[in-house]
């Protein structure tokens, strides 16, 4: 009987405690949530986007808000609201423009896409595919399809829609899956958006969002200002994880990396109720100080601070057609002319690493590793590796060789014998998110004199320590880094068909330079 009473008492406490967790406190009414007088209200234009190259066969509703103060001549700032007019956004924006707490801003409120069969029934709901992905597809959709679609519109009184191209003039917002989408758009394309509001964001293991905290910590900070809202009673899912936990991890990572980040934590659930309460203050905070620019912060990541010159930014170099002007990596043609390679190597050579004594390592396009011995003037095939990649890099002491692997996040490390023979090859360097992007596998690689490896990838230049772990990521708004090489302490990259340079605090080691001893970073 005593045991039964104890169980009843514990159950009562549990039920009572659950009631106390409910977020039920009364909130003052924010004046920005109250409709303006009719003569002050902006205009809302509704429409449908029923064709897309990015998301074929999708249809979606769109609402475009145009404030009363927009003159039709001066390009306006922009707020993109995903999942439509969440948070009572149109009313709030209308008020904040009227009070001067936001600049003159056009709002685009976009529903997720849906595909239909010929009989009108739903074929696919596209929301998760559009919003939970952590690539730049949705940003491309906004840039190339949605915004141009809106700019073809005009208001009933004849004002044409003109939107600023400056990312400092643009914000993007969402909740749950559209909350992570808002962040992803700005993260992938900070040249498009600088301001983000994410309510109960789905930064969990649906389509890679759970990796964001780690990637943010490793990446050079970007010019983005972020407002996060979530509640302690947000969703917990056996498959995907804990929304509340991951939102806190996001805030911690953004803080570590030096971002302007604000959070509003409460005891709410997975609902837009509390995101709606936070929305007016979030917009005030995101737009505070405008037109002062949102700037990148200073990270606490020691790998980045040790290799990146704080005074140096990426600089695009002018390229004249038909010439490299020294802005391209060394050609292998000289080596081919001097060494008379065997027939099976001719016309298939991809990467060559000439050594100080005249020897060389080389790979073919299909990843076969060859070695040319200057001593006996002969080529010999070293390895035929299944899924072997064509990229090569040699450690500064010339005692390790690294090669890429196709369709993989791994790079293979070999130990070099005194006679040039390779042995003990194993997957050693692990990269972030390269195998998920078939349009761009691992690109070229190079070591600095500290033994850190720089790798061209979809995400940017990933910097690995001596033990094979990515500790820093340098990215460009132009997109994936296809190639990289060093000229002394200048890192050169090819990205989006353009050439960029950046001064580093470290110096490259070229394969044809004498080997140098490298200070060990230890077991780590």
Q: Is residue 2 part of a domain?
A: no
Tell me 159's DSSP state: P
> Which range marks the domain in which residue 281 is found?
26-287
CA dihedral (498, 327, 412, 418) in degrees, to 10, reads 180
Q: Give every CB contact of residue 505 below 8 A, 6+ residues apart in sequence.
A: 306, 307, 308, 309, 489
Tokens for 142?
């906004």
> Rounded CA gap, 489 and 501, in Å?
10
Angle between helices 89-99 and 272-287 (to 10 degrees): 30
How many folded domains does the chain comprise? 2
CA distance linking residue 474 with residue 376, whole number of Å? 42
The tens place of each residue's pLDDT in the chain, 524 residues long, gives: 444 444 334 333 333 344 455 566 777 899 999 999 999 999 999 999 999 999 999 999 999 999 999 999 999 999 999 999 999 999 999 999 999 999 999 999 999 999 999 999 999 999 999 999 999 999 999 999 999 999 999 999 999 999 999 999 999 999 999 999 999 999 999 999 999 999 999 999 999 999 999 999 999 999 999 999 999 999 998 999 999 999 999 999 999 999 999 999 999 999 999 999 999 999 999 999 999 999 999 999 999 999 999 889 999 997 645 444 444 454 455 555 566 677 777 677 788 899 999 999 998 888 889 999 999 888 988 876 667 788 999 999 999 999 998 888 999 999 999 999 999 999 999 999 765 544 446 789 999 999 999 999 989 999 999 999 999 999 987 888 989 999 999 999 999 889 999 999 999 999 999 999 999 999 97
Same domain assignment for residues 306 and 425: yes
Q: 234 and 118, same structural domain?
A: yes
- Indicate if 161 and 39 belong to the same structural domain: yes
The pTM for the full model equals 0.91
* Same-domain check for residues 275 and 319: no
Contact call for residues 391 and 444 (beta carbons, < 8 A): yes
- The three-state secondary structure class of 15 is helix
Q: State whether 104 and 61 are in the same domain.
A: yes
Q: Which of 432, 429, 425 is nearest to 468 (CA)?
A: 429
- Quote helix, strand, coil % in the chain, to nearest 5: 25, 30, 45
Residue 353 included in any domain = no
Residues 257 and 307 in one domain: no
Spatial CB neighbours of 128, under 8 Å, sequence gap ≥ 6: 177, 206, 207
**429 token code pair:** 């360097």
Judge if 198 and 253 occupy the same domain: yes
CA distances for 25 relative to 17, 21, 28, 239, 262, angstroms: 16, 11, 10, 32, 22
Structure tokens at 318: 């002018």
CA distance 326 to 334: 16
């Amino acid at each position: 009987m005593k045991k039964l009473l104890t169980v009843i008492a514990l159950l009562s406490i549990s039920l009572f405690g659950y009631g106390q967790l409910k977020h039920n406190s009364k909130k003052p009414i924010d004046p920005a949530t109250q409709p303006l007088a009719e003569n002050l209200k902006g205009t809302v234009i509704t429409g449908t986007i029923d064709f897309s190259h990015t998301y074929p066969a999708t249809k979606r509703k769109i609402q475009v808000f145009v404030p009363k103060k927009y003159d039709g001549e001066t390009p306006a700032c922009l707020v993109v609201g995903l999942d439509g007019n969440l948070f009572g956004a149109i009313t709030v924006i209308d008020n904040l423009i009227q009070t001067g707490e936001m600049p003159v801003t056009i709002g685009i409120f976009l529903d997720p896409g849906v595909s239909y069969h010929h009989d009108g029934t739903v074929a696919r709901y596209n929301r998760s595919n559009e919003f939970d992905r952590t690539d730049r597809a949705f940003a491309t959709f906004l840039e190339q399809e949605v915004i141009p679609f809106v700019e073809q519109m005009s208001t009933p009184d004849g004002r044409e829609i003109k939107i600023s191209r400056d990312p400092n003039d643009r914000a993007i917002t969402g909740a749950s899956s559209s909350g992570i989408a808002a962040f992803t758009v700005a993260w992938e394309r900070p040249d498009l958006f600088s301001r983000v509001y994410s309510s109960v964001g789905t930064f969990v293991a649906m389509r890679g969002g759970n990796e964001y905290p780690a990637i943010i910590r490793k990446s050079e900070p970007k010019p983005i200002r972020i407002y996060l809202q979530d509640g302690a009673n947000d969703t917990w899912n056996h498959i995907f994880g804990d929304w509340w936990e991951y939102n806190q991890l996001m805030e911690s990572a953004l803080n570590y990396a030096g971002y302007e980040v604000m959070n509003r934590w409460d005891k709410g659930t997975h609902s837009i109720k509390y995101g709606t309460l936070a929305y007016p203050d979030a917009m005030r905070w995101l737009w505070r100080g405008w037109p002062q620019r949102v700037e990148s912060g200073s990270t606490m990541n020691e790998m980045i601070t040790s290799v990146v010159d704080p005074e140096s930014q990426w600089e695009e170099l002018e390229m004249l057609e038909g010439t490299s002007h020294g802005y391209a990596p060394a050609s292998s043609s000289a080596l081919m002319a001097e060494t008379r390679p065997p027939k099976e190597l001719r016309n298939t050579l991809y990467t060559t690493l000439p050594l100080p004594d005249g020897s060389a390592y080389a790979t073919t396009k299909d990843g076969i590793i060859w070695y040319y011995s200057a001593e006996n003037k002969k080529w010999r095939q070293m390895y035929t590796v299944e899924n072997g990649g064509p990229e090569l890099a040699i450690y500064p002491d010339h005692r390790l060789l690294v090669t890429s692997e196709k369709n993989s996040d791994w790079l293979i490390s070999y130990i070099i014998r005194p006679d040039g023979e390779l042995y003990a090859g194993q997957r050693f360097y692990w990269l972030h998110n390269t195998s998920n992007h078939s349009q761009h596998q691992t690109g070229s690689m190079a070591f600095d004199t500290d033994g850190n490896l720089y790798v061209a990838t979809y995400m940017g230049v990933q910097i690995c320590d001596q033990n094979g772990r990515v500790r820093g990521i340098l990215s460009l708004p132009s997109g994936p880094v296809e190639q990289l090489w060093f000229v002394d302490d200048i890192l050169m990259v090819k990205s989006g068909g353009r050439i960029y340079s950046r001064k580093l605090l470290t110096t490259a080691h070229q394969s044809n330079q004498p080997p140098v001893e490298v200070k060990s970073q230890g077991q780590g």
